[in-house]
Amino acid sequence: MIELTPFLNKTVRTPLYIQLYQYIKKEIEEGGISPGTLLPSIRYLSRHLHISKNTVESAYQQLTAEGYTESKPRSGIKVLPLEKPLVPSGHFTYPERQKREEEPARRYDFQYGDIDLDHFPFKTWKKCLQDAMNSDSPELFLYGDRQGDKGLRAELAKYLFQARGVRCSLEQIVVCSGTQSAVSLLCQLLPSNGRVVAAENPGYDGVHSVFLNHGYTIRPIGLEADGIDLSQLAESRAKLAYITPSHQFPYGMVLPIQKRLKLLKWADQNDAYIIEDDYDSEFRYQGQPIPSLKALDTKENVIYLGTFSKCFLPAARLSYIVLPERLTEQFCERFGRYSQSSSPMIQRAMYLFMKEGFFERHIRKMKKVYQEKHQTLISAIEKHFGHEVNIIGEKAGLHILMEVRRDIKDLISKAEKHDVKVYPVSDFWIDPHESPSSIVMVGFGGLSEQDIEEGVKRLYQAWFA
């Protein structure tokens, strides 16, 4: 019989049975105990090591459960032959590639897309995640509903109705893992029609990418002071338009009601679909909230896109489509064999978060927080720059644009030397060469009011001092 004399440390935090298990496992793997031998009996080993019978049994069970040993009742515990690892041994190091040098993090990073983490309800969200995990509904641990958690869709329907005026059934809602996933699905769903899409120019480059990668041709539509140029849209002969009516990205204007109606008329008369990307409509700091385009859509031409990335948590990777009714059946047919791409666990947590009213509260709170940051940013710019810059953007959203009569590359690199990061806007133009040379994007969601103040001050020093 083999002898086991592992060193068991009672003072350490790891349980005794794990220590024993690890020791035997190591012995087996390193050949100290060869396959076919019987392990010492439970009783013997417990006496030998002065520990409880159950402790030894637990360790043996673990080994057996993982296939190292085999338990033969009333005869002993046999060590099984090891399934040889494919690679004999040696410490693994993956091939190091020459890294693209990473950009150093800047202290004052006006990155658009960052959210305020100081006011995020981590406790509550963690609790919701916990509660979701504690549910015993098995579908929470399998693939989950193809269109998304039913409870979550019900909460979304309620929310969309109350906050955005969108009235829809559960069947019209499709949960996705981000706006880009949503657009990718739409690219696969919509009638090809020559694969042409009209899009605001400038507009959200992330979505442009998706269209291009799906073989679409983008017809750039210029902007007027109050939003998309409808005559250009009419001339485009596109049957599909991607638009941000509530808060144009990146300029920030709000499409007035007259234009909205004309837009809907255009869609109806041309048998076209409009994709309405309502990415940050939650945050308006002045005036009444404006209902969504989808709320006015009687002819079922608008496809509504919403997301939790701005108003809640980007890391949840949750967004949703509201399909026109006439597309739901087609959707089921085409995606019948697709599985949902966002995690059922996170969807359920989000459902709980909404159901308990935390989401509504959170929106209210963040509205206030961002409003103050917005105000701080504007005031700081006016204070430091006076009339040397022009601020572009409505009183809404999580970013503004700054127009400075300087070359943009110079502005950005000078800012970086002062530990401040602002961003170019050229990517938002479908042809980047057309982009203005003197506008930078300033996102303020992720910075504290102090940092905003200090960041703007440094910007001035970097550019004008």
Rounded-to-integer distance, Cα 262 and Cα 465, Å: 48
Whole-Å CA distances, 453 to 114, 150, 459:
17, 44, 10
Residue 199 interaction partner, one of a copy of itself, DNA, none, beta carbon < 5-8 Å per kind: none
Stretch that binds DNA, among 60-68, 321-329, 357-365, 455-463 (CB under 7 A): 60-68
167 binds DNA (CB under 7 A): no
* DSSP code per residue over 220-240: EE-EETTEE-HHHHHHHT-SE
Sole residue written with tokens 């917005």:
374
Tell me how far, at minimum, the Cβ of 355 lies from DNA, in Å: 17
Per the DSSP assignment, residues forming a β-bridge with 198 are 219, 241
Stretch that binds DNA, among 39-47, 191-199, 238-246, 387-395 (CB under 7 A): 39-47
Residue 375 interaction partner, one of a copy of itself, DNA, none, beta carbon < 5-8 Å per kind: none
Phi/psi at 92 (5° precision): -80, 130
Rounded-to-integer distance, Cα 431 and Cα 201, Å: 9
Tell me how far, at minimum, the Cβ of 449 lies from a copy of itself, in Å: 15
Residue 326 interaction partner, one of DNA, a copy of itself, none, beta carbon < 5-8 Å per kind: none
Among residues 97, 99, 123, 433, the one that binds DNA under rule CB under 7 A: 123
In this structure, the strands spanning 196-200 and 217-221 are parallel
Residue 433 interaction partner, one of DNA, a copy of itself, none, beta carbon < 5-8 Å per kind: none
Among residues 11, 36, 74, 87, the one that binds DNA under rule CB under 7 A: 74
Tell me how far, at minimum, the Cβ of 5 lies from DNA, in Å: 17
Tell me what percent of the chain is helix, strand and coil, each rounded to the nearest 5: 45, 15, 40
16 binds DNA (CB under 7 A): yes
Rounded-to-integer distance, Cα 423 and Cα 439, Å: 9
Stretch that binds DNA, among 65-73, 95-103, 217-225, 311-319 (CB under 7 A): 65-73
Count residues near DNA (CB under 7 A): 30
Q: Which is nearer to a copy of itself, 57 or 114 (CB)?
A: 114
Q: Which is nearer to DNA, 63 or 415 (CB)?
A: 63
Tell me how far, at minimum, the Cβ of 80 lies from a copy of itself, in Å: 10
As a dihedral over the C-alpha atoms of residue 173, residue 179, residue 184, residue 185, rounded to 10 degrees, the angle is -10
Tell me how far, at minimum, the Cβ of 122 lies from DNA, in Å: 8
135 binds DNA (CB under 7 A): no
6 binds DNA (CB under 7 A): no
Residue closest to 354 by CA, chosen among 184, 162, 174? 162
Cα R_g (the chain), whole angstroms: 30
| Helical (H) or strand (E) element with 192 | none
Among residues 6, 23, 42, 232, the one that binds DNA under rule CB under 7 A: 42
Query: Do residues 375 and 234 touch, judged by C-beta distance below 8 A?
Result: no
Tell me how far, at minimum, the Cβ of 75 lies from a copy of itself, in Å: 19
Tell me how far, at minimum, the Cβ of 457 lies from DNA, in Å: 24
Whole-Å CA distances, 120 to 80, 112, 124, 215:
51, 17, 9, 39
147 binds DNA (CB under 7 A): no
In this structure, the strands spanning 273-277 and 302-307 are parallel
The Cβ of residue 124 has, within 10 Å, a number of other Cβ atoms equal to 16
256 binds DNA (CB under 7 A): no
Q: Which residues contact 40 (CB under 8 A, 6 or more apart)?
A: 1, 2, 3, 4, 48
Stretch that binds DNA, among 40-48, 82-90, 211-219, 256-264 (CB under 7 A): 40-48
Stretch that binds DNA, among 13-21, 228-236, 336-344, 373-381 (CB under 7 A): 13-21
Tell me how far, at minimum, the Cβ of 60 lies from DNA, in Å: 6
39 binds DNA (CB under 7 A): yes
Among residues 54, 188, 213, 258, the one that binds DNA under rule CB under 7 A: 54
Among residues 4, 33, 51, 305, the one that binds DNA under rule CB under 7 A: 51
Helix (H, G, I), strand (E, B) or coil at 46: helix
43 binds DNA (CB under 7 A): yes
Residue closest to 189 by CA, chosen among 333, 45, 87? 333
Q: Which residues contact 306 (CB under 8 A, 6 or more apart)?
A: 156, 160, 164, 278, 279, 319, 320, 322
Stretch that binds DNA, among 15-23, 250-258, 302-310, 451-459 (CB under 7 A): 15-23
Rounded-to-integer distance, Cα 252 and Cα 250, Å: 6
Site residues (vs DNA, CB under 7 A): 15-18, 39, 41-44, 51-55, 57-58, 60-61, 64, 71-77, 123, 126-127, 130
